[in-house]
C-alpha cells in the first residue's frame, strides 16, 4: 500500500510517499522559516499563502522522488488538524482535488497522532503491535502532552501544559534573548557555551489545575508561562549587553535547563507504570533534553524511543505512515469530500 501524505498545518509545506506505513520512499519539506523570521513567529496569512505557492511543486517532487509516479499512489492522506485553519485548508483542498483526479481514497489525519507515529518511520525493527502499549510525550511548538498509547487510534491524555508549549517557551525565550527564530535550535546552540547554574529559573510544576481541565492530575501537567516572565524580569534588571549578568549563552543554558528539568522530572513521574516512553515533536531534537531523558531512562530501566531526526519536526511522512493503519476503516471518497479543517483537534481527551 503506497500512501501520498500532505502536511500544511503550520509553517512547513510537506509531502511524502510511504510504503506500508513504514518505508519512506520520499519526504519533501519546504520550510517557510525565512518568511516568518522577520516577524519573530509564524504569521498565519503568510503561512497559507506560501502553502498555496509551494504545495503543488512539493507534491510533484515527492511523487517524482518516490520513483513510482502517479500510477503508483494507492491513497492520499492529509493533516486536517490541529493547526492554523487557513493553512490546513490549503492541504485539504489539494488532497481533495488529487483524490478526485486519481479516484483514490482520501483520509484526514490528526497531526498529534502523526507525531506519535513518527517513531515507526524507517524503523523496521519497531512496529505498533510490538511496542504498544507505551507512553508518548509530544513536545512541539504548539503542544506539550503526555499520552498513553494503547494501540494506534486508542489514546488517553494523561497530562499536558496548562499554558505555553515547550517549543513556544523556547521560541519566546530566544526572542527575549535576541537569538532569532525559531528559538529552539538557537537556544540549544547558545546553551552549549553557557552555564546551567547561572540563574535558577522557575520549574513549571503545576500544583492546581484550571477548572477547564477537569480529570487531569496536576502532577502530570507542566506550565511554562512563568518561566518566560521570569526571563523577562531578569532582563529588565540586567539588560542585554550591559555586563556579565546578561551573558546570553549563560542565560540560554539556564533557561533551557528549566524547561528540560521540568519535562524530565514530569516524564519520570508519568512513566512510573510503563516500560516504554516515546518522545516526539520538534523539541525532542534538543541535545540537553535527549541527554537528561537518556540518563533518567537508564536509571529507571525505561526504554526510551525517539524518532529519526528528520521526522521530529513537521513532515508528511508521519501523516502518510499513520494513514496506512487507518485506510481499511476510512471514509468513502464522497464522504471524504466533507472533510474540514479542525484547528483545535485534540488527542485522547
Ligand atoms: O514539531 P514541530 O516542527 O512543529 C509543531 O508541530 O509545532 O516543532 C517546532 C518547535 C519549535 O518551537 C522549535 O523551536 C522547536 O520545535 N525545536 C527545538 C529544537 N529544534 C526545534 N526546541 C529545542 N531544541 C531544539 N534543538
Ligand atoms: Zn508538529
Going by pLDDT thresholds of 50, 70 and 90, the confidence category of residue 214 is confident
The pTM for the full model equals 0.96
- Residue 151 sits at φ, ψ, to 5 deg, of -165, 175
186-192 own/partner pairs: CB under 8 Å, 24+ apart: 186/252, 187/252, 187/255, 187/256, 188/256, 188/285, 188/286, 188/287, 188/288, 190/248, 190/249, 190/252, 190/253, 191/249, 191/252, 191/253, 191/255, 191/256, 191/257, 191/288, 192/253, 192/287
Angle at 32 between CA 27 and CA 37, to 5 degrees: 145
The crossing angle, in degrees rounded to 10, of helices 183-191 and 166-176 is 70
C-alpha grid cell, residue 343: 484547528
Contacts of residue 101, Cβ cutoff 8 Å, sequence gap at least 6: none
Ligand 2 center–CA 24 separation, angstroms: 18
Query: Which pLDDT score, from 0 to 100, does residue 201 have?
Result: 97
Contacts of residue 299, Cβ cutoff 8 Å, sequence gap at least 6: none
Ligand 1 center–CA 217 separation, angstroms: 26
**Which residues on neighbouring strands pair with residue 26, listed in sequence order?**
17
CB of 190 within 6 A of ligand 1: the answer is: no
pLDDT digits (tens, 9 = 90+) for 226-275: 999 999 999 999 998 776 767 999 999 999 999 999 999 999 999 999 99
pLDDT digits (tens, 9 = 90+) for 27-51: 999 999 999 999 888 999 999 999 9
Ligand 2 center–CA 199 separation, angstroms: 30
CA 142 to ligand 1: nearest atom: 7
Question: What secondary structure does DSSP assign to 206-245, as a single string?
Answer: -SS--TTSTT--GGG-B--HHHHHHHHHHHHHS-TTSSGG
Ligand showing the shortest atom-to-Cα distance for residue 29: 1
Residue with CA nearest ligand 1 atom 3: 313
Least Cα distance to 248 among 299, 190, 319, 330 occurs for 190
Query: Which pLDDT score, from 0 to 100, does residue 209 have?
Result: 77
Contact 309, 9 (CB under 8 A): no
Over 80: is that where the pLDDT of 306 sits? yes
Query: Which pLDDT score, from 0 to 100, does residue 121 have?
Result: 98
Going by pLDDT thresholds of 50, 70 and 90, the confidence category of residue 208 is confident
Mutate-to-test residue for ligand 1 from 87, 184, 264, 310, highest number of ligand atoms within 8 A of CB: 184
Residue with CA nearest ligand 1 atom 10: 141
Question: What are the angstrom distances between the C-alpha of 76 and each of 66, 85, 114, 121?
Answer: 14, 20, 14, 17
C-alpha grid cell, residue 182: 525559531
C-alpha grid cell, residue 247: 551573558
Question: Ramachandran region of residue 103, left (φ > 0), alpha (ψ -120 to 50) or beta?
Answer: left
pLDDT digits (tens, 9 = 90+) for 109-142: 999 999 999 999 999 999 999 999 999 999 999 9
Amino acid at each position: 500500500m503506497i500512501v501520498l501524505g500532505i502536511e500544511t498545518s503550520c509553517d512547513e509545506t510537506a509531502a511524502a510517499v510511504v510504503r506500508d506505513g513504514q518505508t519512506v520512499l520520499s519526504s519533501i519539506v519546504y520550510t517557510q522559516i525565512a518568511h516568518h523570521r522577520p516577524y519573530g513567529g509564524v504569521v498565519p496569512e503568510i503561512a497559507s499563502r506560501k502553502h498555496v505557492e509551494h504545495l503543488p511543486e512539493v507534491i510533484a517532487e515527492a511523487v517524482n522522488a518516490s520513483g513510482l509516479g502517479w500510477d503508483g499512489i494507492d491513497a492520499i492522506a492529509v493533516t486536517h488538524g490541529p493547526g492554523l485553519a487557513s493553512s490546513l485548508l490549503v492541504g485539504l483542498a489539494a488532497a481533495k482535488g488529487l483524490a478526485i483526479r486519481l479516484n483514490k481514497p482520501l483520509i484526514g489525519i490528526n497531526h498529534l497522532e502523526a507525531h506519535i507515529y513518527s517513531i515507526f518511520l524507517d524503523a523496521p525493527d519497531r512496529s505498533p503491535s510490538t511496542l504498544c502499549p507505551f507512553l508518548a510525550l509530544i513536545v512541539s511548538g504548539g503542544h506539550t502532552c503526555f499520552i498513553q498509547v494503547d494501540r494506534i487510534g486508542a489514546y488517553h491524555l494523561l497530562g499536558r501544559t496548562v499554558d505555553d508549549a515547550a517549543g513556544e517557551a523556547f521560541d519566546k525565550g530566544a526572542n527575549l534573548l535576541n537569538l532569532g527564530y525559531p528559538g529552539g535550535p538557537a537556544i540549544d546552540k547558545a546553551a552549549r557555551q553557557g552555564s546551567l547554574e547561572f540563574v535558577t529559573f522557575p520549574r513549571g510544576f503545576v500544583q492546581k489545575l484550571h477548572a477547564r481541565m477537569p480529570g487531569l492530575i496536576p502532577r502530570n501537567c507542566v506550565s511554562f508561562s512563568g518561566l518566560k516572565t521570569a526571563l523577562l524580569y531578569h532582563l529588565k534588571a540586567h539588560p542585554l549587553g550591559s555586563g556579565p549578568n546578561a551573558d546570553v549563552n549563560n542565560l540560554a543554558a539556564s533557561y533551557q535547563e528549566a524547561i528540560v528539568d521540568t519535562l524530565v522530572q514530569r516524564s519520570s513521574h508519568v512513566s512510573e507504570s510503563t516500560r516504554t516512553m516515546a518522545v516526539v515533536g520538534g523539541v525532542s531534537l534538543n541535545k540537553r533534553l535527549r541527554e537528561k531523558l537518556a540518563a533518567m531512562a537508564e536509571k529507571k530501566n525505561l526504554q526510551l524511543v525517539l524518532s529519526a531526526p528528520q521526522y521530529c519536526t513537521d513532515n508528511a511522512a508521519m501523516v502518510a505512515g499513520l494513514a496506512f493503519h487507518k485506510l481499511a476503516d476510512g471514509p468513502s471518497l464522497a464522504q471524504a469530500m466533507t472533510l474540514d479543517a479542525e484547528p483545535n483537534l485534540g488527542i485522547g481527551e
